[in-house]
Structure 1
Amino acid sequence: MSGERASAAAVPHRAEIVVDLAAIRHNVRRLRALTRTPDGGGPLMMTVVKADGYGHGMVPVARAAREAGADWLGVATLDEAVALRDGHDRGRVLCWMAVPGEEYAPAIERDIDVSAYSLAQLAEIEQAAVEQGTTARVQLKVDTGLSRGGCLPVDWPALVDAARSAEERGAVRITGLWSHLACADDPAHPANDEQERVFLDAIEAARGAGLRPEVRHLANSAAAVLRPSSHFDMVRVGIASYGLDPAPGATGDLGLVPAMTVRATLAMVKRVEAGASVSYGHRWTAPAPTTLGLVPAGYAEGLPRAASNRGNVWAAGSRRPIRGTLCMDQFVIDLGDDTAAAGDTVEIFGTGHDGAPTAQEWAEVVDTINYEIVTRVGGRLARVHVDSETAATAREDDQ
């Protein structure tokens, strides 16, 4: 993206998220290739589309992932799972989070696999299935050491026995066993070996109870590309599906393409003299005459205020530093002595073309992870889905 003035067709919004669905398809295919075994086999691929597709738009991303061969989709909440079905997805979907008293019936009747972490949760699912006169598909999650969701190993024998009894009653079918890694982005961390060992023990206990699940899965994005021993029957790939590195510094070039670009239209350009101070608190003062550009997006759009005086954007063909405090609605960039005008395009982060900033770089600037950068953006930002393979464009409100 160059610094020339954007036409109304190029940037129809004040500020927007642009998601390239072709990049999603590319990344899913690439990740399938990276997890192939030498004989051409390999695990099934689950593309995780929770949190509105990590900020990319759940339903369009899900469609693109399916087109690229995703076998399963994964979501966190029951309402996300229902929204996928209502968005016309008909493939296998796993949902893994609920609280006591939540309504399982809408998910069960839409043929969604749900998760159970405890005897009480399994009982709630079974009761919902009985009331519908159907069989619920359930996957059991064991806590192998993340100490977050999942059944503790000490309680696992009781859960798998109860699950087998529920199967015999006909209201439940156990379709999967799974867990989640704590340190997969650090390949040398001893927790990886230990969690894998605990998972194998849990699988054996389930087998001893008479369960025969379709899939066993442990690997997230980082483990999918770094730890083949954790692949089992399926890998759950989230952030890497969106073109972002799940383990910066450990993976090398994975051949992924960031799918999200956040851009805005310069609202104003002004020349200031040396000594002019910028934004709240006057945290930056111009040491010499310079040109400032006003970018109409701020922390209400999910941009981190901690990027004040630290972050960079791409404008007028080069990186431009943020000057002063990033505000709720806007921030200021330094254009130096280069020519720019109101109406020009500013790329806040994107694919990294020509040295432009990426979500990973914004994450490093504010000491967080790329996951947080892409999932937090939104607010008043419009979202546009494009397809660089077909030149198609869709506004979110048209979908």
Structure 2
Amino acid sequence: MAPAPTVTTTKPTLSTDLAAVAANTRTLMAHAPTAVLMAVVKADGFGHGAADVARTALAAGATRLGVTSVDEALALRAAGIGAPILSWLNPVDADFAAAAHQHVDLAVPSRAHLDAVIAAASGGPARVHLHLDVGLARDGAPPAEWAQLCRAARLAEQRGLIRVDGVMGHLACADVPGDPSNATGRTRFAWGVEVARATGLRPVHRHLAATAATLTDPRTHHTLVRAGAGLYGIDPSGTVRLRPALTLTAPLVTVRRVRAGTPVGYGHAWTAPAATHLGLLPLGYADGLPRAAAGRAEVLVRGRRRRVVGRFSMDQIVVDLGDDAVEPGEVATVFGGADGAPTAAEWARWAGTIEHEIVTGIGPRVTRRTR
């Protein structure tokens, strides 16, 4: 039996490997050498820590940052980060005045948003990126409203109220490089840029590609690419090997020996087929472990994969340790990928979801650290 590992934590811990973030940043830049890289650090940097990831990506060569809300942008400014930041998902009553004061760029998907930004920007022209819907029917101006939005933006620019720094779009199926909707999206985006230019706008930046398109389709790169998932080791297209940047560990709270036929957990969904040791981990669905992974999920203990058995509880899961008399306090790796540990991608498959949901879903009770 392998010696018990040294206990390094007394509580569940989520560790971010900033060296992996830096390496992934460089890989993404290498795939789009003619474009500048915007590091997307929304949702607290996909659960990895927005400020730490932002500083790391900028040091590795990214030149701009992307977030959803104004609040996320202002938090980065409060952390002392002065790089250009674009915020692209806000209601019309968002605090655009604070954003303009802190030199945060704003995406404009509608005439109502444009009017709100103009009304709030009293300290000089606000810098905006006009957002065109190229096929998602989600955020962005519908094509039927695009020309009118561009004309209104040009008039506001001539009056010194805004500066149109970019035109942006987002592809619906970039994770499937051959999907025909990608060609439709590229065509619609090219049309949108031409319409903007016909009104007299001269945007410096044109950006359509997120991670998957950055890695697979140079036709989408234009002057700028937005990389979110890829920074954290997630390639939605499955074409490039990136480094996972997040590791979730937890100590075993208790270990008990049970007889064959012992039922485990709520509903007795699993019964021990033979005598075994059961370990209890203090993590559950309240901490972001997907309950749908029950019956399939595994963790790593003492260098071996161990099955999670029974139903997931709000605060705890049970692990079948077999014949090994593992001691309480020994650390299990829930996901991370190193040394044979399960990956976030495996957890996503077990739960029938995507890696993005796994890494962004870890709850606030889990201790965070960087390395």
TM range (shorter): over 0.9
Q: Which residue of 1 aligns with 2:364?
A: 379
User: Could you say which residue in structure 2 is the equivalent of 1:106?
Assistant: 98
Partner of 1:310: 296
* Match in the other structure for 1:30: 27
Q: Deviations over 1:259-303 (max 9, x none)?
A: 100000010111111000111010000111011110111011111
Corresponding residue for residue 274 of structure 1: 260
SS class of match (2:114): helix
The one-letter code matched in structure 2 to 1:30 is: T
Matches within 5 A, 1:240-259: 240-248=230-238, 251=239, 254-259=240-245
Match of 2:145 in 1: 155
SS of the counterpart of 2:184?
A: helix
- Kept after mapping to 1: 8 A contact 2:31/2:215: yes
Deviation at 1:354, TM superposition (A): 3.0
CA distance in 2, matches of 1:269, 1:78: 47
- The Cα of 1:21 is off from its aligned counterpart by 1.0
Give, in whole Å, the separation in 1 of the partners of 2:29 and 2:147: 34
Which residue type is aligned with residue 141 of structure 2? C
Partner-residue secondary structure (3-state), 1:97: coil
Structure 2 counterpart SS, 1:377: coil
Specify the alignment match of 2:249 in structure 1. Answer: 263
The 5 Å alignment of 1:1-399 reads 4-7=4-7, 10-11=8-9, 13-36=10-33, 42-129=34-121, 132-248=122-238, 251=239, 254-350=240-336, 352-386=337-371
Measure how far apart 1:133 and its partner are: 3.0
Q: Which amino acid is 1:341 matched to? A: E
Cα deviation, 1:282-326, whole Å, max 9, x if unaligned, reads 000011101111011101111111111210111121101000011
Instruction: Work out whether residues 205 and 223 of structure 2, in 8 Å CA contact, stay in contact via their aligned partners in 1.
Output: yes
Letter in 2 for 1:141: H
Alpha-carbon shift at residue 35 of structure 1 (Å): 2.1
Q: Which runs of 4+ in 1 moved over 3 A?
A: none
Aligned residues: 370
Provide the C-alpha distance between the structure 1 equivalents of 2:290 and 2:364, rounded to a whole number of angstroms.
13
CA contact (8 A) 1:322 1:334 kept: yes
Q: 1:261 to 1:327 in 2, by over 3 A?
A: same
Report the Cα offset of residue 188 of structure 1: 1.2
Question: Identity of aligned pairs, percent?
Answer: 46
RMSD of aligned Cα (Å): 1.1
8 A contact 2:306–2:321 mirrored in 1: yes
Whole-Å separation in 1 of the counterparts to 2:187 and 2:25: 28
Give the SS at the match of 2:250.
strand
Identify which range, 88-97 or 352-361, moves more after superposition.
Answer: 352-361
List runs of 5+ in structure 1 lacking aligned partners. Answer: 37-41, 387-399
Alignment-mate amino acid for residue 231 of structure 2: S
d(CA) in 2 for partners of 1:89 and 1:307?
Answer: 38
| TM score, norm. by length of structure 1 | 0.91
- State the distance in 1 between where 2:113 and 2:235 align: 34
SS in 2 for 1:81: helix
Q: What's the secondary structure of 1:322's corresponding residue?
A: strand
Q: Aligned equivalents of 2:295 and 2:176: distance in 1?
A: 31
Deviation at 1:102, TM superposition (A): 1.6
Aligned AA for 2:257? Answer: R
Q: Deviations over 1:217-248 (max 9, x none)?
A: 00010000011100111111111100122223
Supply the distance in 2 between the matched residues of 1:379 and 1:310 (Cα, whole angstroms).
Answer: 25
Separation in structure 1 between the aligned mates of residue 15 and residue 234 of structure 2, nearest angstrom: 15
Shift of the alpha carbon at 1:3? 7.4
Structure 2 counterpart of 1:392: none
| AA matched with 2:4 | E
Q: Is the 8 A contact 2:253 2:282 kept in 1?
A: yes
Distance in 2 (alpha carbons) for counterparts of 1:385 and 1:162: 46
The answer to whether the 8 Å contact 2:86/2:106 transfers is: yes
Query: Could you say if the C-alpha distance between residues 385 and 110 of structure 1 is closer, same or farther in structure 2, counting changes exceeding 3 Å?
Result: same
Residue identity opposite 2:351 in structure 1: V
CA distance in 1, matches of 2:176, 2:94: 35
1-side partners of 2:123 and 2:18: how far apart?
A: 39
